[in-house]
Amino acid sequence: MKKRTLGIIPVLVLLLAFAGCKKEEAPQLPQQPQTEKITEPETETEPETESHEGETRSFYTGEWIDEKLAWNRPVAVMTENTKVTLPQYGLNNADIIYECPVEGGITRLMAVYQDYTNMEKVGNVRSCRLYYVYFAKEFDAVYFHAGESKYALPVLNSSYIDNVDGITGKGGAYYYRDNGRRAPHNLYTTGEKLSSAIKAYGYETKLAENYVPHYRFTTEDEPNLLKDGQKAAVVKLYYVDAKPWFEYNKKDGLYYRFEFGKEQVDGMDNSQLAVKNIIIQNCVSSLMDSSNGTLDINYMSGGDGMYITNGRAVSVTWRRESADDITRYYDENGDEIVLNPGKTWVAVCEAKKASGNIIYSTKNEFRQ
């Protein structure tokens, strides 16, 4: 029997045809070399500087304020400082606070405000002592008080200082009584009433063009660190009634005020009083009237004291050439001191009692 071979031939033909029809694979092209991504270096941008357009430095604090406010004449308001009057109102708005002893071991405060028109409550307001008139004059302030010692009356009735008395004359219209407290500890005023009084009395509302600022200030960028001064974490004052002291806070660089054993706060918002600068001014003192203990603080005597800021204290001397001049403070090199921008507390002390002022280097030292 013959082998059948015809079936193989078509299969071979088909295989050869398929092989002939298959396309040649395209040659592989070489890969493009990977190029490193070039990053443009970042250009350094200068830090944004704080804009103070429309502002200027305050004569009273050295801080930036609205330039429209800068030449406004300030007011000085007498404020009682006894336990029964606490809390006082408006003190945290003050640019400068003077504290002086009066009779009986108590002190009174004189708060100097340049921006006061929107204040809702100020005081309480109490009577004047003669030396306070001369301190108010240093700032060209309109002086607000409720009565006065008999020794101050001739000066207040003269043309020496513009003032508004809340007890006599038309001045009473610019104060009010708070019935929540008993007299005489309940007399207050407002920013609106202060402005209205100045207008009614016809007093000048602007500082003179030749006004000479009381203090010299550095800037926030170049603070006065008092590097050679002693450490001053706590400043305790000798005043026997309130027994006040200040404690330094490193976080914000301010001195916080305490008296009568606790924080001294502003009744407007319950915030504790705090200042950047403390000046202790020791003055010669005597009794003007032994029957009621009326003090005479000699604002012209010259003397020594301390300047305290940024957690340190240095010795100073002070002098005032005349009643129309301002008090100037000098360091141990004879250079006028330069304050840091911020609020200032001036503690006027009787020189013979100034040894009772104590500066502690740490808060623990104070509490021992």
By the 8 A CB rule, do 330 and 317 touch? yes
Q: What is the mean pLDDT of residues 74-88?
A: 97
d(CA 229, CA 239): 24
In the numeric block, which tokens belong to residue 119?
């204040």
In the predicted model, is pLDDT for residue 42 greater than 80?
Answer: no
Q: What is the mean pLDDT of residues 213-222?
A: 96
By the 8 A CB rule, do 297 and 283 touch? yes
By the 8 A CB rule, do 132 and 82 touch? no
Q: How many residues does the chain have?
A: 368
In this structure, of 46-50, 245-249, 252-256, 352-356, the range with the lowest mean pLDDT score is 46-50
So what's the pLDDT on residue 1? 41
Give the residue with greater pLDDT, 22 vs 187.
187
Cis, peptide link before residue 184, omega less than 30° from 0: yes
The secondary structure of residue 135, as a DSSP letter, is H
So what's the pLDDT on residue 182? 93
By the 8 A CB rule, do 257 and 244 touch? yes
By the 8 A CB rule, do 190 and 177 touch? no
In the predicted model, is pLDDT for residue 113 greater than 70?
Answer: yes
Q: What is the DSSP string of 230-298?
A: EE-SEEE---TTT--EEEEETTTTEEEEEETTEE-EETTTTEEPEESEEEEEEE-EEEEETTTTEEEE-
Which CATH architecture best describes the domain 55-367?
3-Layer(bba) Sandwich (3.50)
In the predicted model, is pLDDT for residue 36 greater than 70?
Answer: no
Q: What is the mean pLDDT of residues 86-94?
A: 98
Q: How far apart are the first and last CA of the chain?
A: 132
In the predicted model, is pLDDT for residue 25 greater than 70?
Answer: no
So what's the pLDDT on residue 44? 58
Q: What is the mean pLDDT of residues 293-307?
A: 95
In this structure, of 139-143, 219-223, 287-291, the range with the lowest mean pLDDT score is 287-291
By the 8 A CB rule, do 114 and 74 touch? yes
By the 8 A CB rule, do 309 and 294 touch? no
Q: What is the mean pLDDT of residues 284-307?
A: 92
Q: What is the DSSP string of 98-118?
A: EEEE-GGG-EEEEEEESS-TT
In the numeric block, the tokens 């804009």 are attached to 51
So what's the pLDDT on residue 289? 82
In the predicted model, is pLDDT for residue 29 greater than 50?
Answer: no
Domain limits of the chain?
55-367
d(CA 246, CA 268): 21
The percentage of the chain sitting over the pLDDT mark of 70, rounded to a whole number, equals 87
In the predicted model, is pLDDT for residue 24 greater than 80?
Answer: no
Give residue-wise pLDDT tens across range 234-253.
999 999 999 999 999 999 99
In the numeric block, which tokens belong to residue 331?
């360091």
Q: pLDDT grade, residue 48 (50/70/90)?
A: low
So what's the pLDDT on residue 9? 40
Chain mean position to CA 80: 21
Give the residue with greater pLDDT, 227 vs 6.
227
So what's the pLDDT on residue 4? 41
Q: pLDDT grade, residue 11 (50/70/90)?
A: very low
Q: Are strands 277-283 and 344-350 parallel, antiparallel or unpaired?
A: parallel
d(CA 44, CA 288): 69
Q: pLDDT grade, residue 41 (50/70/90)?
A: low
d(CA 325, CA 321): 6
Q: What is the mean pLDDT of residues 100-119?
A: 96
Give residue-wise pLDDT tens across range 171-182.
999 999 999 999
So what's the pLDDT on residue 51? 84
CB atoms within 10 A of CB 156: 18
**Does residue 149 sit in helix, strand or coil?**
coil
Provide CB contacts within 8 A for 22, sequence distance 6+: none
CB atoms within 10 A of CB 343: 23
Provide CB contacts within 8 A for 119, sequence distance 6+: 90, 93, 113, 190, 191, 194
So what's the pLDDT on residue 3? 41
